[in-house]
Amino acid sequence: MASKIDLSVDLARLHLRNPTVLASGIWGTNASLLLRAEKSGAGAVTSKSCSLNPRTGHANPTIVLNEHYCINAVGLSNPGVELESEEIREAKSNCSVPVIASIFAHSIQDFEAVAQKIAEAKPDAIEINISCPNVSNEGRMFACSTADSSSVTARVKDIAGSTPIFVKLSPNVSDIVSIAKSVEDSGADGIIAINTVSGMIIDAYARKPVLTNKFGGVSGPAIKPVALKAVYEISRAVQIPIIGTGGVTTGIDAAEMLMAGAAAVGIGTALSYPGRSFGAIVAELESFMAENGYSGIKQLRLDE
């Protein structure tokens, strides 16, 4: 009789029934949408990033989706941390899987303020999205600098206390490994790699950029090789777990991300494609593992 496949993972004091995590920004800020992801089979859920004050985001068009990629310039629209904290509380009250609250800010002081407020909602973990412009450093992303990344991580960690913090890294940097090591040294309990890749699309007939914002973040199948390389390199340089995110659309994609060194797998753009759901991806992963003699998630990681 075949041995039972154990899909569960432990992630910085969180226990997940399977390694899939709803990525931030995909299904909005409402608790009902986080619960929908749980019912669909997610192992953990992440809210859309929220800021200290409400943000309307960019004007339409903000999203273009095709079979190869998605590019978006939504502009981090959110209701602000006051209202988002209420959604996190509701999600926590009704959700049977870990709830991760994502935050962003444009200054270290605002990161401290939004972290303080979101921590009061008692999420199971806090995601720090450092891929946004740093107004105190001439508009450069926090994620572009080891010093800035380290400072934000340390400040939020002090506020979060025993609540795990995961730092979301940008691929749009010259050395993502050094950034990963800096946030680990500053107290991060885990890393999320990667955020979207910076890109642009142009309508040749209209002779203008398609997105109102001109530039956006590319996600979906096209960025999987970039994400795999980042996860592979980071996992060999740090001791904390990684949620590998970027281009995972199938159970085989999830297996590849786990082989690269991820402890769990973020699922985002895939949910926009027909037939794609957490349940489908988990079932495909389980089938692959059974067919190839794996009984647990840790066995998938490639040898050094």
**Per-residue pLDDT reduced to its tens digit, 157-200:** 999 999 999 999 999 999 999 999 999 999 999 999 999 999 99
Q: How confident is the model at residue 1 (pLDDT cuts 50, 70, 90)?
A: very low
Q: Is 1 among the domain residues?
A: no
Give 96-116 pLDDT, tens digit per residue.
999 999 999 999 999 999 999
Q: Is 243 among the domain residues?
A: yes
Domain count, the chain: 1
Q: Is 3 among the domain residues?
A: no
Q: Is 225 among the domain residues?
A: yes
CA dist., res. 80 & res. 120, Å (int): 15
Active site residues: 132
b/e code 220-253 from CB counts within 10 Å (16+ = b): bbbbbebbbebbbbbbeebebbbbbbbbbbbbeb
Q: At what angle do helices 146-160 and 108-119 cross, to 10 degrees?
A: 30
**CB contact set of 222 (below 8 Å; sequence gap of 6+):** 68, 69, 247
Q: Is 127 among the domain residues?
A: yes
Mean pLDDT of the chain: 95
Mean pLDDT for 49-72 is: 95
Distance of CA 195 to the CA centre of its chain: 7
CA dist., res. 172 & res. 134, Å (int): 15
Q: Is 254 among the domain residues?
A: yes
Residue 286 has pLDDT above 50, yes or no: yes
Element (H, E) at 81: helix 81-94
Q: Is 93 among the domain residues?
A: yes
Query: What integer pLDDT is reported at residue 137 of this predicted model?
Result: 66
Largest Cα span, the chain: 63
CATH of the domain at 146: 3.20.20.70
CA dist., res. 83 & res. 118, Å (int): 10
**Which of 231, 132, 238, 141 lies closest to 185 in space, CA to CA?**
238
pTM for this predicted structure: 0.95
Residue 218 and residue 211 in contact, taking contact as beta carbons nearer than 8 Å? no
Domain with 270, as residue range(s), is 9-300
Query: What integer pLDDT is reported at residue 122 of this predicted model?
Result: 97
CA dist., res. 82 & res. 99, Å (int): 17
